[in-house]
Chains A and B, each alone.
Chain A
């Protein structure tokens, strides 16, 4: 049993982490809120006074806003679709008996450890370059006109790059979940003559439901703030300007801090909607 003394000691030990995180959360958040109600142009006059909800209205009514929301949702949706579908298939495949399973796992997981700037640049230059890229060579070998990936098919290109980075994460989590599946249940259904597709649909997929939800929630949080992949490839051009990138441009490139901060508040709200669902799932797990 914890004594009074150990309880107060515990509180002291917890304090540094709590205070730091509280500061990290509240101080910048308050400042962002403060700036969002001001006309604030650091390079052109600085603080030009309070403007109420002007920035919020201007951010939403600017011609770049809705396209950026659409771009963000397309990237999140496209990457989620690819990584979850392929992730489930890969997890099922990797769970089969085979030779060299450990090595295949290592190969599949590797992209997750590549830093985003490296993977974006490698894809951009060595695969998607319309003259010297590997895809261009491949297209030419079949007599086709090479695609200018990052200008003509910019969104598809970004989705491919980001999905390649996140597929390992989805696969690894789904594989972990599949391995906890009760083998006897599968065996019994097999003996009862259930075909493979039925076994997958009625036993494996329902078992993976929870893991799929976790993958979707966690990836969504990271995908909403994809940055480096766009920074080193298109710089937001060719219709790849996400909400994150739009805010970044407002704040650091055009130095309109008020407007960017209002955008930041929108981004925070968006992320929190997703976060609430994730927290519920994790919270339930803590009770169990």
Chain B
């Protein structure tokens, strides 16, 4: 039997939750609103909430002036590339640990998790040096590789958790029918694992898109993604709130939308299955 909730209590809950939700969301909302104002209206006192002259001018200026598209393209390549590369390496690893577990599986999983704990700044110079020597500093390849490596433990863990939930009997049946290992993975396992793989990729794209230590320190002009593009606004000249807002909105919009779809995966992915 469900507890009966008085209508009055539900009204109070709703009001409180919406108030808090809007308060937390407000900085994002304010950024989006400001991006449609003129620079003068953006700093008006008292602030103007909705009754301003809506304009798309800032977006035009940002697109035109700062080579925004190149930064965006770098972000797409770096986040997408590191995710795809990571998935290709992680699928076989997670498969083998989920379906052919050995005594050491648990240790390997925990050890992979431990590599994630290595503070980036502790190994900044070596990585920097390696990429200089290889001529890869400020290239997209360097960032694809680094972001793939820092997120590989999360990818393996998430896939492992999903693969674990696939009943082993089905795979055994396929094996009985004479499917080779390759066929088993290709035709039986993969179709069943696609939802898990998709949400793993989603979360990983978000993490890679927002990563802001390696992307700031390993890039200069050529390979810089949106994190670095926005950081270049930190020393402002003249009126710039509306343009900053337009640039920010463009940088976060795609990931905000992807993120809202991946709330559930976020929890199990980022806690390595410790909270489900």
Contact = CB atoms under 8 A, between A and B. Distances in A.
A193 to B, nearest CB: 14
A24 B22 contact: no
Interface stretch (A50-58, A113-121, A198-206): A113-121
Interface string A241-269: 00010011001100001001100110110
Nearest to A285: B274
Contact of B213 (A25, A227, A274): A227
Contacts of B90: 17
Nearest to B97: A14
A264 B212 contact: no
Interface stretch (B27-35, B62-70, B134-142): B27-35
Contacts of A267: 119, 121-122
B194 interface: no
B262 to A, nearest CB: 9
A281 B126 CA distance: 31
B136 to A, nearest CB: 15
B255 interface: yes
Nearest to A18: B108
Interface in A101-135: 101, 103-119, 121-127, 132, 134
B216 to A, nearest CB: 6
A8 to B, nearest CB: 10
Nearest to B252: A114
A28 B126 contact: yes
Contacts of A152: none
A282 interface: yes
B127 A28 contact: yes
A113 B96 contact: no
Contact of B96 (A14, A32, A281): A14
Given A113-B210, A113-B252, A118-B252, A286 B13 contact: no
Q: Which range holds the interface residue count of chain A?
A: 35 or more
Given A28-B123, A29-B123, A221-B117, A97 B10 contact: yes
Contacts of A225: 119-121, 213
B275 A177 contact: yes
A281 B274 contact: yes
Contacts of A90: 20
Nearest to A21: B115
B17 A93 contact: yes
Interface in A44-88: none
A33 to B, nearest CB: 10
Contact of A279 (B28, B31, B110, B252): B110
A115 B226 contact: yes
Given A29-B118, A31-B125, A261-B125, 17 more contacts: A13-B95, A21-B112, A25-B115, A27-B126, A32-B125, A97-B13, A98-B13, A110-B28, A111-B25, A119-B27, A122-B248, A124-B234, A125-B244, A137-B47, A244-B119, A247-B121, A257-B125
Interface of A: 2, 6-7, 9-11, 13-14, 16-18, 20-21, 24-25, 27-29, 31-32, 35, 90, 93-94, 96-101, 103-119, 121-127, 132, 134, 137, 140-141, 164, 167-169, 172-173, 176-177, 180, 183, 187, 190, 210-211, 214, 218, 221, 224-225, 227-228, 231-233, 244, 247-248, 251-252, 257, 260-261, 264-265, 267-268, 270-272, 274-275, 278-279, 281-283, 285-287
24 contacts: A16-B92, A18-B93, A31-B129, A94-B17, A104-B17, A107-B21, A111-B27, A113-B256, A114-B256, A117-B212, A121-B230, A122-B248, A123-B27, A137-B46, A172-B266, A187-B3, A264-B122, A265-B122, A267-B121, A271-B117, A271-B119, A275-B114, A285-B273, A286-B106
Shortest beta-carbon contacts, A-B, top 9: A13-B92, A10-B96, A113-B259, A28-B123, A264-B122, A31-B126, A228-B212, A17-B93, A10-B100
